[in-house]
Each structure stands twice: as C-alpha cells, then as structure tokens.
Amino acid sequence: MVSSNAKVSSSRPLGGRMAAVKDMAGYLRALFEVEREFVCCATTLIYRVGDIELKYALCQHVWEAAGHARFIRERGRELSGFGKGEQVRTEIRQLFDEAISPEDALQAVAGFYRVFKPALLAAYESYLEETNHLADWPSSKLVEEFIQDEKRHAQEIEPYLAGVESAAWEKRLTACLQAVGGWLMKEPGLPLPEDFVWSVSEKPYRHPATCNRGSYPVCSSVFGNDPQADPIVRDWLEDPQTDARVVRLMVYVWLMMELDAVDYLATVFYDTRDAPFDLHFDLARHLWDESRHSQFGYRQLPKLGVDLTKLEHSLDLYNILVQMTPAERYAMMTMEFEAGSFPTKAKVMDRVRELNDFEADTLLAFDRNDEQGHVRYGHRWLPEIMKLFGETRPVAEFVAATRIRFEALAEEFGGKTPHSLSPEERVTGSDLLALASKQS
C-alpha cells in the first residue's frame, strides 16, 4: 500500500527518458560517499576523545552510518546512474580530511556534529522532498529511517559538546562544504577566500602516540601475577580453586578493557580508505561489538561494588600497535589476541556458570559469539589489507613475523605508562577478592 500523502514531484524539468532516475541516483551516490567517509574518518575521533560514553556513542554512530551506506549502495545498484565503483570523490575526501585536522578532539567532534551531520540531515530531507515517493518508494523508506537516525545522533552527541567553543571552526568547515555545493553537490559552489589553505596540505593527519582516557587513571597493563598490584591476576583467572565470584569480577575488568580494542581498531579505518567498502562495513561491526563488550564491564562492575574511578586503564596495546602497519595491527588483533583468547575465556565461562548469574552468562556468551565472528573477519579481510599495502608474503608467514615484530616493539614501547595510582589507591586483585567475599 502506498501512503496517501505520497509526494509526486513536478519540480524537475523534463529531460531524457531516464533523467529522473539518474538525478536521484546521483544524489544517492553522493550520500553513499559521505556516509562512507564518515565511517573512515569519524573513527579518528574515538581514540582522541577521553569521555568513555562519548567513545561508545561514536562507535554506535559509525556502525549505523555503515548501515546507511550499505543500504544506499544496494539501492543505488538498482538505479541507472549510480555507478559501479565505490570510490569517493576527491572533493568529499578533502572535506573530511579537513574535518579531522584540529588538535582539539572535541573541536573536531563539534565540526562533525554541528556542520557535517546537520548538512547530511538536510541532504536527506532534500532528497525526500525532491523524489517521487511512489516511483522511488524503496529509497524514500530508507531515507525516512536515516533522517530519524541523524536527528537522534545530534541529540546524543550534543551533551558532550556543552561548553565547547567552536564557532570559528564551524564557520571554516561550512565554507568548505559550500565550496563544493553541499553534500548533494547541486548548489552553486561558493569560492573560498583567496588565502585559504587546506589543513592536510600543511600537516597530514597522524594517529596520536597514545589514546585518550580522559579523567580515568591509567597504567601499562591490567594483567599480571601480583594480587597486590594487578586487578587481573593471570594465575587466579585459570586456577580452579579461585572463587568464581572473583573470576566474575576479573572477567568484567577484562571486558571493560576491551576499550583497548576499540581505540586501536579505530585507527585502521582511516589507513585503509581505498579498501572495499564491505571491509569497512565489517570493521564497523567489529568496532561496535568491541564497544559493547567494553560496556559489559563498564556497566556491571559498579553494580558489584567496583569504583571505576580507581580502576586503572591499560594503554600498552594501543601504544605498541600504533607503531605497526594497519595490516600488522589487524593481524595481531584477530589472529593473535582474539583467536588466542578462546581457551581462557572458555574456562572463565564455565566458572561463572557456577554462580547461576544469568546476566553474566548471557554477556559472556554474546562476547564469545562475537569474537568468533571477528576471527572470521580476520581470515576474510587480512589478505585484502595486506594486498592494499603491497604485502606479498603468505598470510601464515606474515602473521608469524608480525608476532615477532610485536614482541620487539613491546620491549621498546610497552611498559612506559606509569601507574596513576599507588597500589593502596587503585583496584587490585586483592581488592576484588575482598569484594567478592561480600557478594552472593
């Protein structure tokens, strides 16, 4: 059934037989490219902002933008004029390069959410206004959903921008966007000032040497063998004599620290902008999964009495992996860390089941299911990333060499982050043991 308020557009001048289709397909193509670049570039904000909840929100928005892009691509392939390739035009890519350039991460977030995202919302609304709702019913229904997402995204991010002064930056980005005629590229382009210089031409983007964890205390690693110093005691985690309540607390700490994976996986997107879009779609899902896993711990630990302001965040993995190539980072994540975690996590799951804690069982089951999918992503996409950077070694040989290189880099870049808190102040294994004894 077609809605009774379906719009029949009569504003477009008559052209060739397929002019109306080609016009709307051209708009969809531009929207696909914008959403795709958002996925590749908004991810650079994640490891640069410190607020944990903001990191989580950005991960969700990146995943939803990837979904928008995928649906648009599939619809576009049905229409004459969308084009067969997936590459992003230089003009659009340059705009996003400009948007990620500020040193201040929150200023960069403001540019995305006060300039680029509102302009994207306006572009979707313009599409909906101009298309014929009956003839272009599939596109219209997609765009209606995306409009609601864009409005929600703005509402979800604005609280994090309270007090952020970015008027001059927003004005600059607006001028850049107007110069290309807006996201649909249908308006007359306005010239930039004669002295305008694109930021990327003066300072190409580089990932920071370490990630931002805001006001939270930090350390090199949360894993160790000293109950008086480390929150996750390796021996305790696998010892069948360890109280299952302690194991539950430690695995929640482990899950929360999958924020490490969020931060270092986020670096891979920008470095692989010329990869197939389906790779970025799966990476976006992977990123969103890791942010959810981190939230498992972030939201459960306070319920069990853990003071998160005294739980240090580990930075070693980001600090080491950012020194490696994108293919090496992805190889270590999927083929080493995730693939290697299954035996220990299986034992942990068995121990936690002793507690008859349905919520914990559920969270761990979904974590394991997701991680299995991530390893499959690794087998699917690592060869593609290797190819992107001219790496011709067999995958197994490359992964083995990457493990050795990681160990060497760990000697140089690992263990350099001092504890923010003393053993008496920070959460340790001994503290978790004492806390567990008070739980049912």
Q: In angstroms, rounded to a whole number, what is the distance separating the alpha carbons of residues 107 and 171?
A: 12
CA 136 to chain CA centroid, nearest Å? 32
Q: Note the helical H segments in 3-51.
A: 19-46
Give the residue extent of every domain in the chain. Answer: 19-202, 218-436
Over the stretch 123-151, which tens digit does the pLDDT of each residue have?
999 999 999 999 999 999 999 999 999 99
Farthest CA pair distance, the chain: 79
pLDDT at 407 over 60: yes
pLDDT of residue 20: 86
pLDDT at 30 over 70: yes
| 18 — pLDDT class (breaks 50, 70, 90) | low
Grouping H, G, I as helix, E, B as strand and the rest as coil, residue 218 is strand
Least confident of 8-22, 88-102, 187-201, 292-306: 8-22
pLDDT at 408 over 60: yes
Averaged pLDDT, 57-61: 98
Within 8 A by CB and 6+ apart from 392, the residues are 386
User: Right CATH number for 19-202 from 1.20.1260.10, 3.40.50.1100, 3.20.20.70, 1.10.10.10?
Assistant: 1.20.1260.10
| 15 — pLDDT class (breaks 50, 70, 90) | low
pLDDT at 272 over 80: yes
pLDDT at 12 over 90: no
Over the stretch 65-80, which tens digit does the pLDDT of each residue have?
999 999 999 999 999 9
pTM across the whole model: 0.94
- Percent of the chain past pLDDT 90, that is, above it, reads 92
Phi-psi region of 312 (alpha: psi -120 to 50; beta: other; left: phi over 0): beta
The chain-wide mean pLDDT, for the chain, equals 94
Averaged pLDDT, 231-257: 96
Over the stretch 206-230, which tens digit does the pLDDT of each residue have?
999 999 999 999 999 999 999 999 9
pLDDT of residue 57: 98
Over the stretch 332-363, which tens digit does the pLDDT of each residue have?
999 999 999 999 999 999 999 999 999 999 99
Q: In angstroms, rounded to a whole number, what is the distance separating the alpha carbons of residues 173 and 167?
A: 10
Q: In angstroms, rounded to a whole number, what is the distance separating the alpha carbons of residues 335 and 338?
A: 6
